[in-house]
A = this chain, B = another copy of it.
Amino acid sequence: MTAYDDLMAFQRQTEALAQVSGRLGWDQEVMMPEGAAAQRAEEMAALETVLHARRSDPRIGEWLDDCVTMDETGHANLRLVRRQHERAIRVPARLAAELARVTSLAQGIWARARADEDVAAFLPVLGDVVRLRREEGAALAQGGDPYDALLHDYEPGTTSDDLAAMFARLRPRLVALREKALAAPPAPRLTGSFPEAGQLALAHEVARAFGYDFERGRLDKSVHPFTAGSGDDVRITTRTDEADPFNCLYSTIHEVGHALYEQGIDGAHLLTPVGQGASMGVHESQSRICENQIGRSRAFTGWIYGRMRDIFGDFGIASENDFFRAVNRVARGHIRTEADEVQYNLHILLRFDLEQALMRGDLATGDLEAAWNDRFLADFGLAVDRPSHGMLQDVHWSAGLFGYFPTYSLGNVYAGCLHAALCRDLPALDADLARGDPGAAIRWLHAKVHRYGSLHDPLATITRAIGGEPGEGPLLDYLEAKFG
């Protein structure tokens, strides 16, 4: 056994335990009885204590020092282990366990506060989460910027300055496009009711069409759709609204995009550091290109229109063109997850600025609601009428995911770049999609992105896939062509 073999045997067990933690997270959102919340917080804290102890184990430093010349996979694994180890030794074990316990509890408290429209009920635990994550950010940053240190967990190699500069370039063209789209004649709307069973049947059919492997995953319902797990157990969730079938359909395609990435990583990397997505931004590029550039395209919505008429009968839309316009309707609204492609990134910019202020201590949690509502009115020309339409709409901050939101917009930018390359390489793409067959597009994504997992840095992953440096241009060009 070489030092590398020893390290990887140890790491394989750590990755397996991290998978267990992910499975528990899925269970908490999908299966756990409500009365188990406090006990579950103890269980998550115990597991996090184990994971933290393993990731900060001093033997890792020794093994890393003793590893000799490696192949590309070996180098990548060492890079990722080193990053995880350096992170772990900076965070006290007590803090890691406390974060796991408090964020597990906070998600249930947030869900009740949102249902009750009760900001005050959420603020104390939000205060705890913010305090603990700031403490963690400071420990990780070692004098540097605490928000950048947290962002680094989700998007290694990208700083908040990089993102702020990119967002500054995005904003004016998005705002101009939004004004233009809102001034256009309103798109038609679907009428009638869409029974849940039909929505779920369509969700399963579309997931299969995209290539989601149900033998190595499952599709359930949850309040907030998400994907959990790597390798051979990658689960997705969706939600249904009988008045709005697009909620279920497009959240399913979105999560399928994430899941295809995890299911598509070369099996040789299973339970190794390389065996998972390169970053949250790269991950989001996979979900977004499936949901938007493919799933909301004129060609694919034509096929969806036919399937939905087969399942639901007449729903007041007379043609494929009207259906395409209904799917891509631009309208004023409060909810990020229901936003159209044009306004979506403006939601992210709002959260990005507010969460930086929270993490840097420039905004107190008690002032968050007012700050949110003021900014929302300024950015969207719309007053927030209730907390569930404002600062209580998203689960992320209760889960402690500060630094996560901006990767959504980065993912949209990457999806724009990948889509431009995909159109260049696959001239028959629209003909395929019009038949309800995204297979060739998914095979392209698999060959260019999925199979590598974290073999390359996030930026290198995209650069190699598109054959050049990524930027926001292709996304904006695509949006202006579609909505302008």
Interface residues of A (CB under 8 A from B): 12-14, 16-17, 19-20, 23-24, 27, 31-36, 38-40, 42-43, 45-47, 49-50, 213-218, 231-233, 235, 270-271
Report B-chain residues with C-beta under 8 Å of the C-beta of A13. 45-46, 49
Report B-chain residues with C-beta under 8 Å of the C-beta of A232. 33, 35-36, 38-39
Please give the distance in Å from A83's CB to the nearest CB on chain B: 21
With A38-B232, A232-B38, A233-B36 known as contacts, the answer to whether A43 contacts B31 (CB < 8 A) is: no
With A24-B20, A216-B35 known as contacts, the answer to whether A12 contacts B231 (CB < 8 A) is: no
In the complex formed, the residue of B with least CB distance to A213 is: B35
Report B-chain residues with C-beta under 8 Å of the C-beta of A38. 232
Once the chains bind, are A42 and B12 in contact (CB under 8 Å)? yes
Once the chains bind, are A46 and B17 in contact (CB under 8 Å)? yes
In the complex formed, the residue of B with least CB distance to A271 is: B42
> Can you pick out 6 interface pairs between chain A and chain B where the beta carbons lie within 8 Å of each other?
A16-B42, A20-B43, A23-B27, A32-B233, A35-B233, A39-B231
Once the chains bind, are A20 and B39 in contact (CB under 8 Å)? no
In the complex formed, the residue of B with least CB distance to A50 is: B50
Report B-chain residues with C-beta under 8 Å of the C-beta of A17. 43, 46-47, 50
- Which of B43, B47, B214 has a CB less than 8 Å from the CB of A33? B214
- Taken together as a complex, chains A and B put the C-alpha atoms of A34 and B214 apart, in Å, by 9
- Taken together as a complex, chains A and B put the C-alpha atoms of A45 and B235 apart, in Å, by 21
With A42-B16, A46-B13, A46-B20 known as contacts, the answer to whether A33 contacts B271 (CB < 8 A) is: no
Report B-chain residues with C-beta under 8 Å of the C-beta of A24. 20, 23
- Taken together as a complex, chains A and B put the C-alpha atoms of A35 and B32 apart, in Å, by 23
Once the chains bind, are B19 and A43 in contact (CB under 8 Å)? yes
Report B-chain residues with C-beta under 8 Å of the C-beta of A31. 31, 218
Report B-chain residues with C-beta under 8 Å of the C-beta of A215. 33-35
- Taken together as a complex, chains A and B put the C-alpha atoms of A145 and B20 apart, in Å, by 36
Report B-chain residues with C-beta under 8 Å of the C-beta of A235. 33
Report B-chain residues with C-beta under 8 Å of the C-beta of A12. 42, 46
Please give the distance in Å from A371's CB to the nearest CB on chain B: 37
In the complex formed, the residue of B with least CB distance to A54 is: B50
Once the chains bind, are A216 and B36 in contact (CB under 8 Å)? yes
With A24-B23, A27-B27, A31-B218 known as contacts, the answer to whether A16 contacts B45 (CB < 8 A) is: yes
Q: Which 3 interchain pairs have the tightest Cβ spacing?
A: A36-B233, A16-B46, A35-B216
